[in-house]
Amino acid sequence: MNRPDPNTKSVQIGTELVRPDRPDIEAIQQRAEAATRGPWIAAPTESPGNHTIDSENSPYGIVTVWDAQEDIVKPAATAAFIAHARTDVPALCDYAEAMEARVKELEEQRDHPGFATNPGALGRRA
């Protein structure tokens, strides 16, 4: 039986094994760590339609989303997305690393000589 490359993660769709490209989680984490500390807060400015992203750790705004074209830019939603990214991105990186560790653990169990190969017995040993 041909084994997939263990360095690539996969998703089983029917009988087909699909391996998406792995994002560079370490580089993403480095960018997140280099950014202004969070949490970040999105708030409307004194100018109607504009929103700023501030940090609790800085007296200055990080970025302002301008209401150039409300139907295209969506300043409130964009500002909220940017503000949440400061904590969402590190959380997703941690989750991805935990899932990769779990996949590796399950692959090692699967490759153990006593592991059941019956699809109805997944997770059980023969």
Q: What is the pLDDT along the chain (126 residues), one digit of tens a residue?
A: 444 555 555 666 665 566 678 899 999 999 999 999 889 999 998 888 889 999 987 888 899 888 777 677 788 899 999 999 999 999 999 999 999 999 889 888 888 777 666 556 555 555
- Establish if 10 belongs to a structural domain: no
- Establish if 43 belongs to a structural domain: yes
**Residue-level pLDDT at 112:** 77
- Establish if 100 belongs to a structural domain: yes
**Residue-level pLDDT at 22:** 86
**Residue-level pLDDT at 58:** 80
Q: Which residues contact 65 (CB under 8 A, 6 or more apart)?
A: 50, 51, 52, 53, 73, 75, 78, 79, 82
Exposed, middle or buried by CB within 10 Å (0-12, 13-18, 19+), for 49? middle
**Residue-level pLDDT at 34:** 94
Question: What is the count of structural domains for the chain?
Answer: 1
Q: Which residues contact 86 (CB under 8 A, 6 or more apart)?
A: 32, 35, 36, 38, 39, 40, 55
Half-sphere exposure of 101 (CA within 13 A, CB side): 6
What are φ and ψ of residue 95, in 5° steps?
-65, -45
Q: Which domain holds residue 97?
A: 23-121
